[in-house]
Each structure stands twice: as C-alpha cells, then as structure tokens.
Structure 1
Amino acid sequence: MTAHSPSRPPSRSSRNRRSGSRSRSSSSSSSRGSSPEESGVVDSGDSPGVQSGRGPGLWQKVKTRYPLVDFHALPEYLRDNEYILSHYRADWPLRETILSIFSIHNETLNIWTHLIGFFLFLGLTIYTVWQMPRVEYPTLTRISTFPMFTDLNKLHSEIMACFPPIPPFVPSLFGLQPSIPEVSMPSTNNPQCIVRTIRQDLGRLMAPLMRKPATRWPFFVFLGGAMFCLLTSSTCHLLCCHSSRLSYFLWRLDYAGIAAMIATSFFPPVYYTFLCHPKWRNFYLTGISMIGVLTVLVSLTPLLQKPKYRPLRALLFFGMGVSGVIPGVHKLFSHRHEPVTLTTTTYEVFMGMFYALGAIFYATRIPERWKPGRFDLAGHSHQIFHVLVVAGAYTHYRAALLYIEWRDTHGCD
C-alpha cells in the first residue's frame, strides 16, 4: 500500500502573489476603461508616476491631488462663462488655491493683469511722494515786505539772505536787467525810489516761487481707490474657487472695489478744478463721497444682493457716474479759456473710452463666444476687460498730474 500524505494548504507568500496579481489586473482594466475626458479632469501634462531623485515637488503633488476640471464638472457657484470650457479649479483647499497663483489655469491672467496693475500704481504712488515739492521758500516772502531802506548795503544783505534756499533759480535774477536803466535815471536818484523799483521787480520775479504747491491728498485718494480695486479683483480671481461661501463674499468685495475706484477717481478733477470755488468743490465732493460710501455698503450687505434689489444697485452705480459727469460739464463752461481744460478733458474722454470698451467685452463675452474653448487660457473677454481697466486708470492718472501742475503754477490767480 502506498501511503498518501495529506495535502498542505498554500503558503502565505503564494496567496499574496496571486492577490496582488489580481488587484493589478483589475486596476489596469479600470484605468483603461475610463479617460480624463470622461471624468471631467483636464490632463495637466505632467505624469504623476514614479520619479527619480527627490520625488515630486509641492506643485506636482497639488496637480496630482487637485486636477483642473471642465466646465460641466463645476459646482453651480463657479459656473459663470459657458464659453470657457476647461482648466477650472474647483473646491481646492486654501493653501493649494494660494499656490495656484504661480500655475497655469483659466484664471491665471485674470489674477496677474490686475496684480501687475496694483504694483504699477503702488510704484506711481511712491514716485509721486518722492517727487513732491519739499523746499519751502519762507525767506522769499520778505521781498514783498521790504521797508523803505535808505542803506543800500543793508538792502544788499537782505537780498543775499534769500539766495541759499533757491540756488537753481539764481540765474533767473538776470531778469532784473531791464530795471537797471530806470535806476540810473535822474528821477530815481532818491534811494527810496531805487529800493521801490528793485523790490517790485524782485516781487514779480519771485511770485511763482512764493506760491505754495497745491495739496496732494485728492490725488492720493484716487491712487488708493485704484489700488484697492485692483488688489481686491486679483484676490477674488485667485481665491474664488475655494468654496461657495468665500466666493460669494469675494465677489461682493470686488463690486465694492469697483465702486471705490469710480468714486475716488472724481476727487482730483473736482478738487483741483474748483480749488478757487470752495462752495462748488465741497458740494460736488460731498455728493460723490456719499454715493460712493452708500454703494460700497450696499455691495457688502448680503441682504441687498437679492434679485429684487438689483435696480437699487444699478441706480447707485448710475448715480456715481452722473455725479462725476456733472462737474466735468461745469468745468467746460467755467474754465473754457484755460488751456488745461481741453487737455484734461481729452484724457478723460480716452479714459471713458477704455472703460466703455472694457464693459462691452465684459458684457458680450467676445471673442470666446465665437470659438468656445479656444480662449480658455489666454485672450478671453475678462482678461481684455482687465487690461482696459488698467489703461483707463493710468490715463486718469496722467490727467490728474496735469491738474496738479496747473494748480502748482497758477494757484487761484
């Protein structure tokens, strides 16, 4: 008889090999059965496979865990432009959302067009502060109050005391040359007549230097409003994909920034145009400020974002526009003989054209509506709108400089 030994159960290692083989084959078949297009995930172009060296970087991990998606895979709160079909971020954690400022998606240029604009106006603000007149000319005011000196040596010392603060303007003193023949005339042999003649000529020569420069605070109000608008816009486009709650708040803040920029942009033209008419100046600035503050508060109030309050919001934005147009028309009539009026109005017309053209692109969603998906990353309407807003704000900055130069040189003469 042959003795049969009992069969032994398979070892643990062989069971593991067989189960591993089955799991690999099932995962392989499932990966072959679904594609990124079917799941709504956009391939970012970098394979998350095994890498040599130090392994995947931080952004590589972000792209692997939080891929870009198509429009049809978006949550409802992110569905805004149906003509942009791909490269969306959706419900990303805050840390990864912030890091996406350095990556490529359909909001990248929306972020950077206004972020660059913010730094542009920050630089212009610093430049303006640096270039502000810092030299006061208190000694020049003494020229117009000279007593009737009989001692010409004392008069000479008084005149020379004015020179140290104004070395760049010393060559202009040659303008006194036409007065020399008058001094040598017999009728002016009286020392008092000589002093009077020199005093009058010096006063006329130094009058522009004795005028204090116009105040700059309206100009800085405009720059602050522009920077606030550009920064809130960039922040909104960067973080709005984090959650519906944050997105809702950021879009309200974006509208508040727009209202602030519109209201503050009227400060330089109104203040400097009506500098010598304080009643009109205060009336216009008070009205603009009240409408601007009210519009910002309405934009930030959740209750007033309901559809039934849409006419109120539209009326406030319309009121801000009208509150700036009326002083402009007033300027054309009251200062029509000033050369600066035509120049600044030309700048303001170009500013309005930039803003109006940007609004047309924003409302019509051109060019992406003509070729959906073609302009997902670059060239769509909102990016063009951002560029035109920065161009309009810079044009207004140039106009404000002309207002300041005008008031620095002419004052309220």
Structure 2
Amino acid sequence: MGGDNSKGKDSIGLLENDGGERECCGREGKGKRLWKKVKYQLVEYHSLPAFLRDNEYILGHYRSEWPMKQVLLSIFTIHNETLNVWTHLIGFFLFLALTIYTAMQVPNVIDLNSLQHLPDFLKNADLHKLQSELLTCLPSMPDLQRLRDEISSWHIKELLYNCLPVRFSSSNHTDVCVLNNVKDDLANIIAPLVISPITRWPFYAFLGGAMFCLLASSVCHLLSCHSERVSYIMLRLDYAGIAALISTSFYPPVYYSFMCYPFFCNLYMGSITLLGIATILVSLLPVFQTPEFRTIRASLFLGMGLSGAIPIMHKLFLFWGEPEVFYTTGYEILMGVLYGLGALVYATRIPERWMPGKFDIAGHSHQLFHVLVVAGAYTHYHAGLVYLRWRDLRGC
C-alpha cells in the first residue's frame, strides 16, 4: 500500500511539474510574441538614435533599427516615410514607361507642318536620288501626272509650295480631302529621303538619370532606418542620384542647342559633368549629411541647376526668333521654378515647422519636395521632345 501511495505521489508531482513547464512555456511564448510586437512599433523622435534624427518637426511614426525583413515589408505599412518611398517609386515607373514609349516612337515620317522646313533640307539633299525615288514612289494617277512632270523638271520646291494647293480633281472646287491626303503622302515619301532622326543618347541619358535618382531616393527612404551603416550608404546614393538628375538634365538642351557648334557643346556638357562629379565627391563627406548642412546641401544642388542659365541665354542669342527655342525655354523656366521651389521647401521644412507633429504621415516638406522633383523632371521630358522634333526637322 505504501509503495502504491508513493507511486501516486510521484505521478501527481510529475503532473504538477508538467503543468508548470507548460505554463512557463506559454508565458514565454506570449512574451516573445509581445516583444516582437513592441519591438517593431513606431517610435517618437526623442527615442531615435542620432543617425536617424534629421527633422525635429516630425515628432512621431519613425521606424528605428528594424531587421531588414521588417524594413522591406514596411513599404506596405503606414509610417512617416511611406509617401517618401512611393512618390519617387511611382515616379520611377512613370519615367520607365516614358523611356519605353519614346524608344518606340522614333519618327520615320513627318506631318504637314514639317513641310515648311523642307527648303532647308533640299538645299543639302541629293536631288538626283530624290528625283528618282519620288518618280518611283508616286502613284500613277492621271491627276498626278503634272506633279511627275514637275519633278522631272527639278521644280521640287515649286512642287511643294505652288502645286500642292492646286485642286486634284476635275471639279470647279478644291477637294480638301484629296488635297490633304496627297500632301500627307508626299510628306511621308519625302521625309525618309531627306530627314533621318538625330542621335537620341542625350535624351536617354536624361531619362536614365531621372530613373536612377527616383529609384535611389525611394530605396534610401525605405532602407535607411535599418542601421547606421546602411543609412550612411543610402544617403550617399541619394545625393548621387540628385546630382545625376541635375547633370543629365543639361544634356538634351545643351547637345541639341549646340550640336552645330562643337566647341560650346563640349564646353557646356563637360562643365556640368565635372560639376556633378564634384558634387558627388563632396557628398561623400560624413559632415555633409548632418542636419546642420541641410541648407548647404539644398544650395549646392540649387547652384548646379542655376548654372543652366548660361547655355539657355546663349541658345536664345543664337536662335532668337525660332518658335521651338521659346517653347523649350518656357519648359526649362517652369522646370527651374519647380526644382527651386522644391529645394526651398526642403531647406525651410515648411509646413511642418509651423505645426510640429501635424504632418508626420502626410504633407511634410520632403514629400512636397519629391512631388515637385517629379513634376520638374516631367516638364523637362516635354522640353526634350520639342528639342528632338526641332533637330530632326532642322538638322544642322
């Protein structure tokens, strides 16, 4: 009986120990889950390590030293960097789509408005080749016989400007539909013979610089909270992207404005490239990223942009009176205003400095700066399209 009681007590003791261990393990599991939940909570500004303290007017919703997995997943959560990430990430995909679209739209025909530029091309065109090609390509219609006679007589310029407005039917009124169709056909026949699209690399360099800047900025805002080392690398990448965008923005206007003046073309493009490289090298200095250098950073990048006023003034002097020059200059002024306003907002930290804590999630200066940068780059894209069309039609 005694042995049986002893065994019973041992069994009870084992059960108690078992229950205690399960209870202990349960408490430990809950503790780990609670710790993970608390560990990846957003924190306030005063809780941040020194390397993450940049804007004292944004008071909360910070990520601080999270593991890389949680940092990457935070792209889909709400914090004070969410819109900083997505404003430039969306901008990156916008410019990627524009690059693909532009690559698919290399012109091989011209429209009716381009006929006014043909005399400039015809002066330098191979007229024998043009004559034979036109005689081969023109349809053999009775109403076009006079056009073929004009071409055979080398009256090409008169053909384009005197013959095309004459009616192409036997009626007593001008058949506008037929007239426009013939002019379209002639434009499409003549264009490939006398016009070949100029090189696109300066334009693609700008698009590449814009995509690099936008993607680098987006990645920087996503990953910088991981650690001080990662933050150091990401900020340098971000500054390099800004310098690349500003430098490559000069390439289309400088190259297409001065492609017939190699000395000035090389001078301006070389100068802005060297200035961009120098800016990137300066940005590698550790002191460059401190909050105290915020105004200096903005001023340096703003100075790079303002240096573009010199080639713009030179372009106006050389091509005064040509409408494309005024169109592109208007786009460039608008781009400069958008970039300048963005730099001003970034440096002054408006509007969050007026109401600290009210713009932590949305509406603070860095987000406005991002939107203005994308708008400025998009404006410059349209200026680039005008440059391409101008030089495709005008040549040198």
Work out whether the TM-score is over 0.5.
Answer: yes
Paired residues, what number?
A: 347
Match in the other structure for 1:238: 222
Structure 1 residues 22 and 344: alpha-carbon distance in aligned structure 2, compared to 1, 3 A threshold: closer
**TM-score, normalised relative to structure 2:** 0.74
- Partner SS for 2:59: coil
1:277 to 261, 272, 279: 261
1:81 to 55, 66, 69: 55
Kindly indicate whether the alpha-carbon contact (under 8 Å) linking 2:254 and 2:268 is maintained by their aligned counterparts in 1. yes
Q: CA RMSD in A?
A: 4.2
- Partner SS for 1:386: helix
Match in the other structure for 1:54: none
Match in the other structure for 1:53: none
2:91 to 101, 117, 139: 117
CA distance in 2 between counterparts of 1:223 and 1:100 reads 28
Query: Superposition pairs for residues 133-148 of structure 1, below 5 Å?
Result: 133=107, 144-145=127-128
Structure 1 residues 216 and 195: alpha-carbon distance in aligned structure 2, compared to 1, 3 A threshold: same
Are 2:379 and 1:404 equivalent residues in the alignment? Answer: no
CA distance in 1 between counterparts of 2:366 and 2:153 reads 67
Are 2:329 and 1:355 equivalent residues in the alignment? Answer: no
- Partner SS for 1:332: helix
Match in the other structure for 2:198: 214
Which has the larger helix fraction? 2
CA distance in 2 between counterparts of 1:255 and 1:112 reads 18
Structure 1 residue 312: Cα displacement: 9.9
CA distance in 1 between counterparts of 2:223 and 2:15 reads 50
Gaps in structure 2 of 5+ consecutive residues: 1-8, 111-121, 162-185
Are 2:232 and 1:257 equivalent residues in the alignment? Answer: no
- Partner SS for 1:371: coil
CA distance in 2 between counterparts of 1:236 and 1:112 reads 12
Structure 1 residues 174 and 133: alpha-carbon distance in aligned structure 2, compared to 1, 3 A threshold: farther
Kindly indicate whether the alpha-carbon contact (under 8 Å) linking 2:302 and 2:343 is maintained by their aligned counterparts in 1. no
Asked which structure has the greater RCO (Cα within 8 Å, sep 6+), the reply is 2
Structure 1 residues 179 and 304: alpha-carbon distance in aligned structure 2, compared to 1, 3 A threshold: same
Amino acid at match of 1:66: Y
Match in the other structure for 2:352: 368
Kindly indicate whether the alpha-carbon contact (under 8 Å) linking 1:115 and 1:231 is maintained by their aligned counterparts in 2. yes
Structure 1 residues 126 and 22: alpha-carbon distance in aligned structure 2, compared to 1, 3 A threshold: closer
Aligned identity (percent) is: 54
Match in the other structure for 2:69: 95
Are 2:361 and 1:377 equivalent residues in the alignment? Answer: yes
Are 2:180 and 1:196 equivalent residues in the alignment? Answer: no
Match in the other structure for 2:41: 67
Amino acid at match of 1:71: Y
**TM-score, normalised relative to structure 1:** 0.71
- Partner SS for 1:197: coil
Task: Give CA-to-partner distance per residue, 1:161-209, whole Å, 9 cap, x none.
Answer: 345xxxxxx79x98985796xx7xxxxxxxxxx8333566569877654
- Partner SS for 2:329: helix
Amino acid at match of 2:136: A
CA distance in 2 between counterparts of 1:329 and 1:319 reads 16
Gaps in structure 1 of 5+ consecutive residues: 1-7, 26-30, 32-47, 50-60, 148-154, 164-169, 184-193
Task: Give CA-to-partner distance per residue, 1:383-404, whole Å, 9 cap, x none.
Answer: 1110011001101111111111
CA distance in 1 between counterparts of 2:237 and 2:271 reads 22
Kindly indicate whether the alpha-carbon contact (under 8 Å) linking 1:365 and 1:381 is maintained by their aligned counterparts in 2. yes
Match in the other structure for 1:45: none
CA distance in 2 between counterparts of 1:299 and 1:174 reads 69
Match in the other structure for 2:310: 326
Match in the other structure for 2:373: 389
Structure 1 residue 119: Cα displacement: 0.4
